Amino acid sequence: MFFDTDSSAILLLEDGTYFEGLSFGAVGTITGEVVFNTGMTGYQEVITDPSYYGQLITFTYPEIGNTGVNSEDNESSHPSVKGVIARQVSKISSNWRHESSFEKWLKNENVIGICGIDTRALVRHLRETGSLNGIISSDTKSSIAELFSLLQKSPSMSGLNLVNKVTTQSSFKVNSSCPVLFDKRIKNIETNPYQVVAIDFGIKQSILDRLVAHGCEVTVLPANAEISDVLALSPEGVFLSNGPGDPSTVDSGINLAKNLIDYKRLPIFGICLGHQILGLALGGKTFKLSYGHRGLNHPCGLNGKVEITSQNHGFALNSESLNSDKIKITRFNLNDQTVAAISVIDKPFFGVQYHPEASPGPHDADHHFNHFVTLIEERRRIVD
């Protein structure tokens, strides 16, 4: 164990299973849904991804913290997870870009962690039982019975709307003048950018960066935005973002997507929760996966074409609920055949369940951003 601590901690699951380990980060007690991420890199991006709001994240990679943390790699201004579960945590930050150690950062952000447990056994258990609510506590005064009583009050992720916990409270704009990477090779990126409205259900910074990189000027609106708010900005396309919780509970987003579909004039692109909301607005249904897809190497494809993808979701669209006369499933997750991407036949609406912005993760799917701006470009030609 590289982490120097004498503090004890416990992880207790709702089925009574518990793991004893060591405390790191903030000291305290926290409940949430226990999930796991199989990525070998990107712990900072994962922890600050708003899609993880309300969860206790288990990292299957045996040691995290090696590269420290820096402000440039954050996906949001603060960590979104409630707790961190790890096998080993390094107290040494071995990267020239680091601004703080991992442990100090978690302390400052009041994120509770437990390390020194057998994460392989924990993940095997979750794969057999499905994701479970759990409680991490470094409060040595509490008994297991007391912690279990507290845990029983923790709500299930099914039926939980968490979007309002992470969405922006006011609109803001992102464009090529902002301090992000963008590709100046794209024609007219600065003089004639594509005007896009993004609905913030928990949007990642790297998604905004990739939209800007593909020539978009993005106005971000809160999750409760109505179609009048969108149309008042005269957008050329609408983006539906990722986010946490049960997609079927995000009524405002589903209603907005329905109205945009009826409007029929604007290209729509959804990622993760936004993809699910698009599917729900089209009449589909979602269901909770047993333990979700969270990692950087999930193969998705159709008809022999495969891309390796970054994923983070606990719900999925039910393929049988999608009207095949209107909706085309363009990719499946090749591990379990769940719906990974859809498009609307003869309409400029599409969504992907995975994360093409690749932060962290492979860049195989970045072409979806190009497809979005191509749809906007085609609309420009028609309007002109």
Catalytic residues: 272, 355, 357
104's CB contacts (< 8 A; 6+ apart) are: none
Is 166:49 a contact under the CB 8 Å cutoff?
A: no
Q: How far is Cα 310 from Cα 288, in angstroms, rounded to an integer?
A: 19
Closest C-alpha among 247, 240, 239 to residue 274: 240
Q: How far is Cα 322 from Cα 226, in angstroms, rounded to an integer?
A: 25
Cα separation values, 27 from 31, 135, 143, 260, 325, Å = 13, 13, 16, 46, 54
Q: How far is Cα 46 from Cα 310, in angstroms, rounded to an integer?
A: 11
369's CB contacts (< 8 A; 6+ apart) are: 210, 211, 213, 214, 356, 357
382's CB contacts (< 8 A; 6+ apart) are: none
